[in-house]
Amino acid sequence: MIKVGIVGGTGYTGVELLRILAAHPEVELVCITSRSEDGLPVADMFPSLRGHVSLCFTAPDKARLTDCDVVFFATPHGVAMAQAPDLLKAGVKVIDLAADFRLQDVDVFAKWYGMPHSQPALLAEAVYGLPEINRAAIKTARLIGLPGCYPTSMQLGFAPLLAQGKPLVNESALIADCKSGVSGAGRKAEVSALMAEASDNFKAYGVKGHRHLPETVQGLEAIAQRKIGLTFVPHLVPMIRGIHSTLYATLLPEARGLDIQALFEAHYKDDYFVDVMPAGSHPETRSVRASNMLRIAVHRPGNGDLVVILVVEDNLVKGAAGQGVQCMNVMFGLDETTGLRQVPILP
Amino acid sequence: MIKVGIVGGTGYTGVELLRILAAHPEVELVCITSRSEDGLPVADMFPSLRGHVSLCFTAPDKARLTDCDVVFFATPHGVAMAQAPDLLKAGVKVIDLAADFRLQDVDVFAKWYGMPHSQPALLAEAVYGLPEINRAAIKTARLIGLPGCYPTSMQLGFAPLLAQGKPLVNESALIADCKSGVSGAGRKAEVSALMAEASDNFKAYGVKGHRHLPETVQGLEAIAQRKIGLTFVPHLVPMIRGIHSTLYATLLPEARGLDIQALFEAHYKDDYFVDVMPAGSHPETRSVRASNMLRIAVHRPGNGDLVVILVVEDNLVKGAAGQGVQCMNVMFGLDETTGLRQVPILP
Amino acid sequence: MIKVGIVGGTGYTGVELLRILAAHPEVELVCITSRSEDGLPVADMFPSLRGHVSLCFTAPDKARLTDCDVVFFATPHGVAMAQAPDLLKAGVKVIDLAADFRLQDVDVFAKWYGMPHSQPALLAEAVYGLPEINRAAIKTARLIGLPGCYPTSMQLGFAPLLAQGKPLVNESALIADCKSGVSGAGRKAEVSALMAEASDNFKAYGVKGHRHLPETVQGLEAIAQRKIGLTFVPHLVPMIRGIHSTLYATLLPEARGLDIQALFEAHYKDDYFVDVMPAGSHPETRSVRASNMLRIAVHRPGNGDLVVILVVEDNLVKGAAGQGVQCMNVMFGLDETTGLRQVPILP
Amino acid sequence: MIKVGIVGGTGYTGVELLRILAAHPEVELVCITSRSEDGLPVADMFPSLRGHVSLCFTAPDKARLTDCDVVFFATPHGVAMAQAPDLLKAGVKVIDLAADFRLQDVDVFAKWYGMPHSQPALLAEAVYGLPEINRAAIKTARLIGLPGCYPTSMQLGFAPLLAQGKPLVNESALIADCKSGVSGAGRKAEVSALMAEASDNFKAYGVKGHRHLPETVQGLEAIAQRKIGLTFVPHLVPMIRGIHSTLYATLLPEARGLDIQALFEAHYKDDYFVDVMPAGSHPETRSVRASNMLRIAVHRPGNGDLVVILVVEDNLVKGAAGQGVQCMNVMFGLDETTGLRQVPILP
């Protein structure tokens, strides 16, 4: 059994980790920390876990995290980089769901997250936890920086077009029009996330700039091995879970004859969690609700040069906690799908 | 034109007051205060008001509220009682949307609102602003304590049964199973009101006790002129606006022959804002959305002794801002419906 | 492995059966019928099942249901009673999710369902599939009539009060104010169930009479072994899944000293799927979303004579498909919880 | 008073017309037809109209539409073109909310709507009812084809960029990523529009082709006086009302110095119903809920060549009924805003 600790379990990615790990056949939940809720049974805060999780929250200083095999950080940015060194030194693997180990350029990190990066050496060692792109590196990693929710959908959606050696599309003018459910904003008391504000409403936000832009550009450039240009426009959808990314790329003249559907199917033929749907499909976010699946459909309207890629995922699962467990499975030599084969909840 | 001031306009009852008053033909909006937003154009906070309200928020100390004919308080409890004395002295009428002037017993007030009442003399003068019950007193009032949203629906729903001189139902065992949309919780940053918490969910709350219980008991006893006993169970509905109260009362044996439908129709025949629907109706909250109407339907399942009364209102209009404007119209000798005849928004 | 067939799998209880059974470790899905969708892969209609269910729908006349060990009927009323005799003759057990085998009085059935009952002999044999009440009889049954969604919540909520030999409450005046999500209306094209009609709205319906009333009265009388009187008022909640029943019963004077919390805890101490929450709790429907749990909290407002019982369940799981699988487990000698221990989905 | 008739008033655009026209100071509602609901009071179907509309539905053959000054068609495609000739002959003006008089090319109409156009001569006379583009022609028109909901938002969003004589953007590669609330699908009993299907979900649809594409291309080409190329991807949002269109256009090198904000503000400076918001804004659909306003914000992420235009409207008002009344006001010489100055409903 893998001994697992969780730092910061009171948010949505935390409770989602608990939901998945509580039913994982190879995991023993050892401790979960919360500064503010020390001593409180986890199931008192989240009654959905009654009968499944018997742990209480523990104050960070009392938690014996070094007894764990792996520790997940479901914390605000900055916490994981402070605690990772000691854990790694003690032989504990670390998986960070926040942004501390995503951006390889410390200046870019400092600009977008408003704090200096305190562990540049560890950052250099950290592996970006997107198994469909980075599986081999994850297998031997000690330290994982998990992708953000939007970046997961954008990278897996664009990857087959960018990974083919020579350019197929105008890589300087990619567009990602993304839509997220409200759980993406986290379990934070903010007026803009109140149900009376966010329901029966739709809006874009962060058009001037969003932290997931530099992360996605870094990831896409790693895939393409070339510079790319991306415009990213996020929107807020009045639903709880789910991301729907609508991606646009313009085929280069020499690629007009391409069978894009076949390209995508071939690219993901060995990836259990990526489902390339039949040509002409319109994937729905609910078709992956509460599961680690990501579904893709590819379109070429009017048979023109513009490729439209539709991607759906559950932002809390494939976009966060589920992807973390997927990485853990890879790191510990388990079947990648262990504990992650739940059927999506529909309706 | 009536010169109107609003104290505390950044919450949902505040913006609803603005929506109604901005289109009221006999009103001139003079000032609106907010300590935190001094100088900010109201329409910057609420873009729905662009082109309709050109005022900026003013800090309370700069606001010339004494130039107004009437001031509405859309503030937390305790604010109106502090400021009302000076305004009344200056000849300004006061309408409080909070609870400062609802409960006539200062001990009951102190118990449920956790603060002593600083103005018992004014409280004695204050009129409870439920026009369908209290119209004559409102006409000559200087100071109005507006009913809460739930109490409005419960009192208007039970009133015809209680107001008939002799008891018709078992008045010691009334039950009100009430359901409210989330705007009833106000525009406050609280985790429990987040869309990710409150949508796609249903729950009861405050079963042990809710501030609207003593207010409603006081109101029902004033109507009946007898002691009554009430159990009130509020629930939270994943919708923005609307209250649906399902009221239960057991007919006394001597009242079994009663034509309840006729009783209700007669009781409200002169009240524009109370619509007694045809027998057998199931009023929907959306049928009053964004309007000052309250609709009632009366049932007697299986022709038995239990009377079931269904009441719907918009908690922000008839349950708050609209009722406030209705009271203002009465106080200033206008037609009671002036500025309040908007057609509900459906769908 | 238990060979399972499903008749009528295109509705919500059908797809929910598929979700649960596809992951059930002791079940082999053998066939699923649909007259209109013959030949269509099930996963084409419900993309959430891609990778989990490889069956196609089969026309009823081609389906080899007699090869199954058990057949579930997720059909409109009347279908199961027509097909059950042949299946039972062939040694196949039958579990009906519709109402054909719920009401023991054929006249009551005919009145509420508008059709005569064609199998009164089978009806007499049929067992009402509520394991917490009827476990022993289910164990040896060939034919199960599963409870409706509302009746499950009402019976399990009232049972501890009624099952104590002598009356504890006024059993002639029970009240059930129930609220259901929209999936309870089924996957049928009806204007009243459109999102533009049902969302951001709340209403009661069927106050004059609802089919679940006679079923619940029958069940409660079987529990109490006495006549009972019930008023049932259903309401529609703008959410997908979940039932919240708020139950009211008046304690008899001789029962005022009762420790109701202890009574409920003792009554359900051996029932995995019934969770009696700590005193003072307010269970939320989302705390059981997509799970077979039913949670109960008991209140006594103001320490008076009125007992208020709050019950939540997922109408598609404990209220339908999950309860069917629970019965199957009991009938086939499996642990009752096999395949049913999923953690609820929150948020 | 303008005598108004409505053909087909049982859908969402019909009830919205009634809501607006019932409060219009210059309108007398004369008749409203429905084949299926002859004799039914309109307010029985839509209780929100109780006290505001006393008309009953009339069967088409009994309706005296020729007594009207203007008739609105809120009907399925094909009805208006059958009845318009007789009405026009009788001197009645006609405003069609369906698509009969939108597409000037009868072959294009036949292809997208699956029926031949029976009135090519009238079509040639018909005026496209988008006042901000076509005001002068509307003033003298007898017959109006109102724009679709999506096309209104796309045309008003792109217009300032296309109307400047010389091209400013790459007009062959415009992209419109549009999102609509569910009322856009109409009040039709369809499984895909059920709340249990459409809520807590997000998806694209019609990516291969949507009827609003040829209409929008026709409109944009009329504005630009040049050929344009447009990709249009519609999505379904789990909300009742509202369209949010996110529009993308790439600036030509020679237009990089353009002050786009100023361009948009100047373009719409005289249009009451188009609100160009301050630079950097993110308009929300609820900021125009139940009103005839359309709000636009213009962005240029990273100060690059891609212009991102955000447009919101209420699909039932500016996208349908409200725009129809706006056209009527223009046609009858009234102030364009008469009866259309309602404050949007927020929250």
Task: Collect all residues of chain D within an 8 Å Cβ-Cβ radius of residue A306.
Answer: 173, 175, 231
Q: Which tens digit of pLDDT belongs to each residue from C18-48?
A: 999 999 999 999 999 998 899 999 999 999 9
Task: Collect all residues of chain D within an 8 Å Cβ-Cβ radius of residue B341.
Answer: 23, 52
Which residues share a beta bridge with A220?
Answer: none
Alpha-carbon gap, residue D26 to B30, rounded angstroms: 30
Q: Which tens digit of pLDDT belongs to each residue from C108-151?
A: 999 999 999 999 999 999 999 999 999 999 999 999 999 999 99
Alpha-carbon gap, residue A249 to A268, rounded angstroms: 19
Residues D125 and D50 in one domain: yes
How is residue A289 written in tokens?
């609700």
Report yes or no: D260 and D202 within 8 Å, Cβ to Cβ.
no
Q: Among A321, A323, A341, which residue's Cα sits nearest to residue A138?
A: A323
Residues D139 and D155 in one domain: no
- Using the beta-carbon criterion (under 8 Å), do A237 and D202 form an inter-chain contact? yes
Instruction: Confirm whether D12 is domain-assigned.
Output: yes
Residues C113 and C223 in one domain: no
Interchain CB contacts (distance < 8 Å): C and D: 66
Burial tier of D303 (Cβ tally within 10 Å: 0-12, 13-18, 19+): exposed
- Using the beta-carbon criterion (under 8 Å), do B194 and A182 form an inter-chain contact? yes
Mean per-residue pLDDT for B243-256?
Answer: 98
Domain range holding D190? 150-313
Q: Residue C9: its pLDDT value, please? A: 87
What stretches in chain D show pLDDT beneath 70? none
Report yes or no: D299 and D308 within 8 Å, Cβ to Cβ.
yes
Residues B306 and B158 in one domain: yes
Q: Which tens digit of pLDDT belongs to each residue from B51-67?
A: 999 999 999 889 899 99
Residues D164 and D300 in one domain: yes
Catalytic annotation, pick one of A31, A68, A149, A327: A149
Instruction: Confirm whether B337 is domain-assigned.
Output: no
Q: Which tens digit of pLDDT belongs to each residue from C270-305?
A: 999 999 999 999 999 999 999 999 999 999 999 999
Residues C224 and C257 in one domain: yes
With a cut of 90, say whether residue B14 has pLDDT above it.
Answer: yes
Q: Which tens digit of pLDDT belongs to each residue from C75-88?
A: 999 999 999 999 99
- Using the beta-carbon criterion (under 8 Å), do A346 and C15 form an inter-chain contact? yes
- Using the beta-carbon criterion (under 8 Å), do D347 and B183 form an inter-chain contact? yes
Q: Which tens digit of pLDDT belongs to each residue from D178-211?
A: 999 999 999 999 999 999 999 999 999 999 999 9
Q: Which tens digit of pLDDT belongs to each residue from C52-106?
A: 999 999 998 898 999 999 999 999 999 999 999 999 999 999 999 999 999 999 9
Residues B186 and B301 in one domain: yes
Alpha-carbon gap, residue B284 to C119, rounded angstroms: 40
With a cut of 90, say whether residue B339 has pLDDT above it.
Answer: yes
- Using the beta-carbon criterion (under 8 Å), do D52 and B199 form an inter-chain contact? no
Instruction: Confirm whether A344 is domain-assigned.
Output: no
Mean per-residue pLDDT of chain A: 97
Q: Residue B89: its pLDDT value, please? A: 98
With a cut of 90, say whether residue A9 has pLDDT above it.
Answer: no
Instruction: Confirm whether A258 is domain-assigned.
Output: yes
- Using the beta-carbon criterion (under 8 Å), do A310 and D207 form an inter-chain contact? yes
Residues D101 and D159 in one domain: no
Nearest to C48 among A240, A281, A346 (CB): A346
Number of neighbouring beta carbons within 10 Å of residue A109: 25
Task: Collect all residues of chain D within an 8 Å Cβ-Cβ radius of residue A242.
Answer: 200-202
Q: Residue B160: its pLDDT value, please? A: 98
Residues D114 and D179 in one domain: no
Q: Which positions in chain A have a beta carbon within 8 angstroms of at least one beta carbon in chain C?
A: 12, 15, 19, 22-23, 46-52, 183, 187, 199-200, 240-241, 272, 275, 277, 281, 283-284, 286-291, 293, 295, 316, 341-347
Cα–Cα–Cα angle for C257, C259, C262, rounded to 5 degrees: 165
Instruction: Confirm whether C208 is domain-assigned.
Output: yes
Find the CATH number of the domain harbouring B98: 3.40.50.720
Which residues share a beta bridge with D66?
Answer: none
Instruction: Confirm whether C340 is domain-assigned.
Output: no
How much is the ipTM here? Answer: 0.97
Q: Residue D9: its pLDDT value, please? A: 87
How many domains is chain A built from?
A: 2
Mean per-residue pLDDT of chain C: 97
Helix (H) or strand (E) holding B155: helix B149-162
Instruction: Confirm whether B174 is domain-assigned.
Output: yes
Mean per-residue pLDDT for A161-165?
Answer: 96
CA B241 to chain centre: 13
Residues B16 and B130 in one domain: yes
Instruction: Confirm whether D276 is domain-assigned.
Output: yes
Task: Collect all residues of chain A within an 8 Å Cβ-Cβ radius of residue C183.
Answer: 347
Nearest to B46 among D272, D291, D346 (CB): D346
Q: Nearest residue on chain A to B181, judged by CA atoms?
A: A196
Find the CATH number of the domain harbouring B236: 3.30.360.10
**What is the model's pTM?**
0.98
Q: Nearest residue on chain D to C188, judged by CA atoms?
A: D191
Q: Nearest residue on chain D to B195, judged by CA atoms?
A: D200
Task: Collect all residues of chain A within an 8 Å Cβ-Cβ radius of residue B183.
Answer: 196
Q: Which amino acid would we find at residue C243?
A: I
Under the banding of pLDDT at 50, 70 and 90, the label for residue B276 is very high
Nearest to D282 among A204, A244, A310 (CB): A204
Q: What is the CA radius of gyration of chain B?
A: 20
Q: Residue B9: its pLDDT value, please? A: 87
Residues C124 and C195 in one domain: no
Residues D192 and D304 in one domain: yes
- Using the beta-carbon criterion (under 8 Å), do C240 and D183 form an inter-chain contact? no
For B143, residues 6+ apart whose C-beta sits below 8 A from its C-beta are B84, B88, B93, B94, B96, B101, B122, B125, B126, B127
Alpha-carbon gap, residue B232 to B247, rounded angstroms: 9
Mean per-residue pLDDT for A193-207?
Answer: 98
Alpha-carbon gap, residue A84 to C33, rounded angstroms: 55
Nearest chain A CA: its distance from B69 CA (Å): 32
Helix (H) or strand (E) holding D136: helix D131-139
Q: Which tens digit of pLDDT belongs to each residue from D143-186?
A: 999 999 999 999 999 999 999 999 999 999 999 999 999 999 99
Q: Which tens digit of pLDDT belongs to each residue from A48-107?
A: 999 999 999 999 889 899 999 999 999 999 999 999 999 999 999 999 999 999 999 999
Task: Collect all residues of chain A within an 8 Å Cβ-Cβ radius of residue C288.
Answer: 48
Which residues share a beta bridge with C151?
Answer: none
- Chains interfacing with D (3 or more CB pairs < 8 Å): A, B, C
Nearest to B196 among C240, C301, C347 (CB): C347
